[in-house]
Amino acid sequence: MKTRTLGKSLEVSAIGMGCMGLTFGYGPATDKSDGINLIRAAAERGVTFFDSAEAYGVENEEMVGEALAPYKGKVVIATKFGFRNGNTKDGLDSRPERIRLVAEQSLKRLKTDVLDLFYQHRVDPNVPIEDVAGTVKDLIAEGKVKHFGLSEAGVDIIRRAHAIQPVTALQSEYSMFTRDTEAEVLPTLEELGIGFVCFSPLGKGLLGGKIGESTTFKEGDVRSTLPRFNGEARDANARLVGLIAEIAKRKNATSAQIAIAWLLAQKPWIVPIPGTTKLHRLEENIGGANVELTDNDLKELGDLLAKQPVQGARYNEQMMKTVNR
């Protein structure tokens, strides 16, 4: 597995593993032993970057911590703070005392002495970003955190935070189907030397090519509430993925691998973190790092996306209120 550098010095595998879906967001949680085995399978295949969060449930950090204990010092584990009581339904909470509490709890659950990358999960409009960055700066000085990150933050917040404590990485949704960060956020990250970690690089599964007219979602799967996955929008998006798959076939790849390769081709400081609960999907995702897209390939994909853009918003109205502040 090739590596990439986030910020000035955080070296990670070119493709990371998003661990959210093991316990949160996509229906019932994965059995703990199965989750541990999958995370370790990723590590054995060269993945060194793993993403968790308090909001994914206590069991998520515990699963990640137990799975990666044998790889201590060889992997980078990211986690996040920012929700009241660690529950996305309870609203935002990035007060300094809350950040400190989450850090202590995450250290224990992840079985580590220091948090490699500590993100603010969502921007809290009730707490000045200077206070957030200053608190993480203190945690870094105390040796409890190595790197500071933001998630779904806009340009103003990024600049203000970076002025207090250098931001190593921004984590936001980015894929061939979600490109709103390209106009202002990506140029800002490049200017400031901040890495970009892309969650949902496969469009929450759409770009995997298995979602279509007959797809039903399990209870608790957030996609059942998202405009992009319902009705005519879902069907149109499935047809678009089919066209991407035709390009993929010529490259001896899958549509998911093309989606990952497309992200890697955008900037050398972009790192996608696809998630999965299945070993064969994990191996497919990792294979995306080996797909080389030529300038002609990128132009063909760009022309296709311009001609037939994705249909439907990525989030529902309530969820959109917390992003790109």
Q: Residue 128 has what pLDDT?
A: 98
Q: Which helix (H) or strand (E) holds 244?
A: helix 231-250
Query: For residue 325, what is the DSSP state?
Result: -
From residue 80, alpha-carbon distances to 7, 126, 269 in Å are 17, 18, 20
Cβ(323)–Cβ(150) below 8 Å: no
pLDDT of residue 301: 97
Could you identify the residue written with the tokens 């400081």?
269
Residue 290's CB is within 10 A of a number of other CB atoms, namely 13
Domains of the chain by range and CATH? 3-203+263-291 (3.20.20.100)
3-state secondary structure of 173: strand
Spatial neighbors of 142 by CB under 8 A, at least 6 apart, are none
For each of the chain's 325 residues, which pLDDT tens digit applies? 999 999 999 999 999 999 999 999 888 899 999 999 999 999 999 999 999 999 999 999 999 999 999 999 999 999 999 999 999 999 999 999 999 999 999 999 999 999 999 999 999 999 999 999 999 999 999 999 999 999 999 999 999 999 999 999 999 999 999 999 999 999 999 999 999 999 999 999 999 988 887 888 888 888 988 989 888 988 999 999 999 999 999 999 999 999 999 999 999 999 999 999 999 999 999 999 999 999 999 999 999 999 999 999 888 787 877 787 7
CA separation (Å) from 221 to 27, 29, 87, 256? 5, 11, 16, 20
Q: Is 56 a catalytic residue?
A: yes
Catalytic pick among 26, 56, 174, 315:
56
Instruction: Report the alpha-carbon distance of residue 67 to residue 162 in Å, rounded.
Output: 32
pLDDT for the residue numbered 240: 94
Phi, psi dihedrals of residue 150, rounded to the nearest 5°: -125, 160
Q: Please state, in angstroms and rounded to a whole number, the distance separating the CA atoms of residues 193 and 188.
A: 8
Cβ distance 75 to 38 under 8 Å? Answer: no
